[in-house]
Amino acid sequence: MRALRVAIGVSGGVDSAVSASLLKKAGHEVVAVHMINWDPREEGTSKCDQSFDSAVARRVCQHLDIPYKTVNFVREYWNEVFRQMIDNYTIGRTVVPDIACNRFIKFQHFHDYCIKNLDADLVATGHYVSTSIESELMAGKNPSNLNADLLAGIDPIKDQSFFLCTLKQEQLKRALFPIGKLFKTQVYEIAKQEGLIEVANKKESMGICFVGKRKNFTTFMDQYIEPRPGLIKTIAGKIVAEHTGIHHFTIGKRVLYQGDHLGYFVVELDPKTNTVLVCSGSHHPRLFAQEFVIRTPEWISINPLKNHLDVRFRIQRTHPVIKCRLETSLKDGKEVITVKTQIPVRAVAPGQMCVFYADRVCLGGAHTELILLVIVSSTRIQPILYEVFFCFSVFVERLVATRKLAVYEKSKYWPLSTLLILLNTLVSIICTYAIIYYLYDHYFLILFIFFPIIAFIALFSFWCLHQLYLWNHRELQTMTSFVEVKNFHEKTYANDAYLSRRFQLTENIEVLKLMHTIFKVHSVCSLVGVFLSGIPMVFLDFNTEIAQMMLVFFDLVIIV
């Protein structure tokens, strides 16, 4: 592997800092560049999070002894990302500006700047993804004859392939992702080992970066979109309230107005009449779609329509991938692509990015345009089954990641315990709601369906906790080696590290014992709570709305 001149975008966060460190340790000539994409004067002050991040990025580069530069893309960001976002929200379309920012700013203007002005061979960022040709690029091979696949990051919690789904071949052929094959806790471990304590302890930034310290997206958007008053109506035509603009809403969002104990949720936005349609309850069939039309997809390297691949998709980064079928047809002489999902999907909104996958390969994405088919009212149990599937899928993803990461940080065990308890609680609450609002006249049927589910989750959770216990116990017994970060660097650990590791493993074992006891008690309470939740209605004929609300409260108290 020959040394390359690599430019890396540094944000002031731990991901880009560790990426720069790894590149330098690999022997490359590294140049760090901090992008300024938002004018701080838009925040109403000259000081904002952006200025702080820039200062942190500069200190990181000084610590790593690499050159630090800044480049200004404020105009490009405003014209190519921000204005497009405003235009879409004005007409009720839900878009993700980070996707456009990556395509047009970070992987187009930034790449061009680094290659033309800094004479860089490759450009790196701290995204949790990888490509199929990174080893060839690192070896200095000419990428012109290579075909690059975008691969999801191995950390399912931090995978960012969703936000890079519209990148083109020429962009991927000059891109490096040094941490794409690492887990987040590995990144933190490297940061601490390299003395990057400031970024290792820095709170992770969430949401849209340019909102600043206010963190209130609705208030922020009001500064750029003129108010257009309209009505909020139920799907039956009843006027619920008034609003000041449909840009405040998106499909599936809860509308916090009085009038329905289940709550009102947005099912449709009409930009022509400026009307917001809502339904009663978060599991209403109108919130779930099984077919929708997408714009012409932008495939990265493989076209699944031509290769007949088994395709999965997601419309939000945190959602699990769901199997689907793509069908093409002609309408008014134009090709129309329809996505038909294996199970109903909640809150599909026009403008959302639908990202497609084949195993770990991100195939590309397309904006949703039109919702064709929602669940009919006679299949009201389907939304509940979807929620069970969704919760369980997310649980499995988080569990896989946590098991692989648990040996790095003791603190990861408590989130695991919390996740198991929340999952058990969610399934119990779903069961209770099914009894109360859907099938209270089939009480024993519901118990027959849901009790095995809750019992299975409890047994599976106990098994996972036991495996973690054995994992820590075996290492404590052997202590022949320590956890090393793959492809990082070899190091002989000092005696204090050895003692620290033994102490950490001992604490882990005690924590797991306590978690096992807590979860055992919680599982029993959940089963009892579900069983008792239907007794007032089934045996006492207690079926008024007030009684139902009291019943939910009673069940939640028992479960929590």
Residue 179: half-sphere exposure toward Cβ, Cα within 13 Å: 27
Cα–Cα distance measured from residue 39 to residue 76, given in angstroms and rounded to the nearest whole number:
12
> What per-residue confidence (pLDDT) applies to 548?
47
Q: Are 81 and 100 in contact (CB under 8 A)?
A: yes
Determine whether 464 is an active site residue: no
CATH of domain 285-374: 2.40.30.10
Give the count of beta carbons closer than 10 Å to the beta carbon of residue 317: 15
Domain ranges of the chain: 5-214, 226-280, 285-374, 381-559
> What per-residue confidence (pLDDT) applies to 544?
41
CATH of domain 226-280: 2.30.30.280
Element (H, E) at 342: strand 334-346
Cα–Cα distance measured from residue 48 to residue 35, given in angstroms and rounded to the nearest whole number:
15
Order of all β-strands in the sheet with 5-9 = 68-72, 29-36, 5-9, 122-124, 175-176
DSSP line for 215-244: --HHHHHHTTS----EEEEETTS-EEEEES
Cα–Cα distance measured from residue 84 to residue 79, given in angstroms and rounded to the nearest whole number:
8
Closest CA to 519 of 444, 468, 457: 457
Order of all β-strands in the sheet with 239-243 = 239-243, 230-234, 275-280, 264-270, 254-255
The per-residue pLDDT string of the chain (560 residues; one tens digit each, 9 = 90 and over) reads: 568 899 999 999 999 999 999 999 999 999 999 999 887 666 655 455 667 888 999 999 999 999 999 999 999 999 999 999 999 999 999 999 999 999 999 999 999 999 999 999 999 999 999 999 998 988 888 888 889 999 999 888 899 999 999 999 999 999 999 999 998 888 998 999 999 999 988 877 665 655 454 456 777 888 888 889 999 999 889 898 999 999 999 999 988 666 656 678 999 999 999 999 998 877 788 888 889 999 889 999 988 888 777 899 999 888 888 899 998 888 777 888 999 998 888 899 999 999 999 989 999 999 998 877 665 443 444 555 555 555 555 455 445 444 444 433 444 555 666 666 666 666 666 665 555 555 445 555 555 666 676 667 666 766 776 676 677 666 655 543 333 333 333 333 334 455 556 556 665 666 566 566 656 665 666 556 555 555 544 444 444 444 445 445 544 544 44
Cα–Cα distance measured from residue 261 to residue 549, given in angstroms and rounded to the nearest whole number:
8
Cα–Cα distance measured from residue 70 to residue 114, given in angstroms and rounded to the nearest whole number:
11
Cα–Cα distance measured from residue 200 to residue 207, given in angstroms and rounded to the nearest whole number:
19
> What per-residue confidence (pLDDT) applies to 204?
74
Q: Which residues contact 55 (CB under 8 A, 6 or more apart)?
A: 12
Q: CA 199, 203, 206: angle at the middle one, nearest 5?
A: 120
Q: Does 3.90.1150.10 match the CATH number of domain 5-214?
A: no
**Distance in Å from the first CA to the final CA of the chain:** 56
Identity (one letter) of the amino acid at 551? L
> What per-residue confidence (pLDDT) applies to 132?
94
Cα–Cα distance measured from residue 3 to residue 180, given in angstroms and rounded to the nearest whole number:
20
Q: Which of 61, 101, 362, 391 is catalytic?
A: 101
- The distance from CA 539 to its chain's CA centroid, rounded to whole angstroms, is 44
As given in the structure block, the two tokens for residue 232 are 């909020």
Distances (CA, A) of 242 to 124, 255, 273, 342: 48, 11, 13, 37
Distances (CA, A) of 534 to 151, 293, 418, 435, 531: 47, 41, 27, 6, 6
Q: Give the three-state DSSP class for 147.
A: coil
Burial call 202-220: b when 16+ CB within 10 Å, e when fewer: beeeeebbbbbeeeeeeeb
> What per-residue confidence (pLDDT) applies to 58?
95
